[in-house]
Amino acid sequence: MTAAQPASGDGDDGRPARWRVRLVVMLFIAGVAGLAASIIKWSSPFDPQAKFLEAVQLVETGQTQDAAKIAAKLETIPEFEPHGRLIWGGILLRQGQLQTALDEFGAIQPQGTLRLQTLLWTGECLYHLGQLADAAQCFTLLSRDDPENAAAHRWMAAVWFDLGAMDHALASLARLTQLVPEDCAAHRLSGHILYDFEKFKEAQDHYRRALQWCDDDVNRADAGAHLARCLIRLKSFTEALALCRTLPRTPDVMSAESECLWATGDIAAAKQMLNGLDLPPGEHREAALLQARIAVQERDPATAARVLEPLIDRDPFDVEALHALAGALQQLQRSAEATAMLERSEAARQLRTRMVELNQQAIERPGDVEVRRELAAVCLKLGKPQLAAVWQRAASGYSPAQNVPAQRMPSNQSERGDRERSPARSAD
């Protein structure tokens, strides 16, 4: 044996031959295992119904690429082609391509669970397109076919809210919270509706439930601040003060706490807290009004006027601010300006009274387009273009079947023709 030759039983690299054998065996086993896993993966049964339901959840949570993969496979199965098409429509809906999504939904002949999901997504499309009456028809059919469908009641509440039919919105929200007691948003919206109509005793119950279920600081602060305002209106200052001290320290919460301090006689603490807000002039209405009241109480009308003027610049029709400024100007012996401010206050009061009357009519007559158009006009006079736009949308949105072919309303009838494939299919 020479030094250049390996010892008996060794490989060319100097390692024992048995390790080479073991390595080959291990690689072979690993390859067989990988092949077996691939065979199992690709030979496992594809349950179309289960995959359809999975894809629906993927669409709802925004995972559209994964949903698209399932939709593509569903379309290769003849009896599940409509299911695939519905998923593509849902993807388009989530992408904001509302009209194209509506075309997809209109080409489907929905049955069973397919019908329910088609009604829901068609209603969503119509809602976002401003076609509220047609959206309401979808959600009404859905809640009739599936009374425990929480989404149907949630969307129906949104439709009624946008139409200004607040009694109907509250009824839908009540049904929703029966089905989903932990729905923080539903409790908050119920509270806000009742608060706006100064039904503080009823509103507080909803805000308490919202506080019970809201798990983030933003919503907790909003619900808590409104609950504190309800308690203040109900003269429960001590309870409101204790509540505020448990909430996130937002301007709304601190303003409410300041008012509680003022109402319970701790004026110095109230002023200190208001000064600590450090907000731009006129930025927070409730805080500014309280500052003005304290200034008037302390016989400092100049400070009251200084605080109120930016508030009126932001909202020239704020009846309470106008009236308070008139009082401050009168104390400053600026009688002509005070008289002019009182006249503005009265004109604004009349417009707001008319708005309240029309709001009540909108509640009682959810299909009355003219009431909503007048409300839009009054809101424009009050310098509220965004609110005017809401009422104008409600007026135009309640024209039944406006620019919507009948076949877009999902039904059990089979009268829809096929349509070309959507570009969304190439998105994957």
144-157 pLDDT, tens per residue?
A: 999 999 999 999 99
Q: What pLDDT, in 10s, does the model give residues 294-340?
A: 999 899 999 999 999 999 999 999 999 999 999 999 999 999 999 99
What distance in Å separates the CA atoms of residue 75 and residue 88, rounded to the nearest whole number?
10
| Number of Cα atoms under 13 Å in the Cβ half of residue 244 | 26
pTM of the full structure: 0.73
Cα–Cα distances in Å, from 208 out to 39, 87, 185, 412?
Answer: 56, 39, 12, 43
Buried b (16+ CB within 10 A) or exposed e, 160-175: bbbbbbbebbbebbeb
Reply yes or no on whether the pLDDT at 392 is more than 70: yes
The closest alpha carbon to 200, from 231, 224, 170, belongs to: 231
Token reading at 201: 């005793």
Is the pLDDT confidence value at 120 over 50?
yes
181-263 — its CATH code? 1.25.40.10
C-alpha 151/C-alpha 245 separation (Å) is 35
Q: How many residues does the chain have?
A: 428
Q: Where are the chain's structural domains?
A: 46-129, 181-263
Q: What are phi and psi of 8, to 5 degrees?
A: -60, 130
Q: Residue 280 — very low, low, confident or very high, per pLDDT cuts 50/70/90?
A: confident
> Are 398 and 132 within 8 A, CB to CB?
yes
Structure tokens at 291: 């500052």
Residue 243 CA to residue 391 CA, distance in Å, equals 35
93 vs 402, residue with greater confidence:
93
Quickly count: other Cβ atoms within 10 Å of residue 133's Cβ: 18
Please list, in sequence order, all residues whose beta carbon lies within 8 angstroms of the beta carbon of residue 17, skipping any fewer than 6 positions away. 9, 10, 11
Residues 167-178, mean pLDDT to the nearest whole number: 94
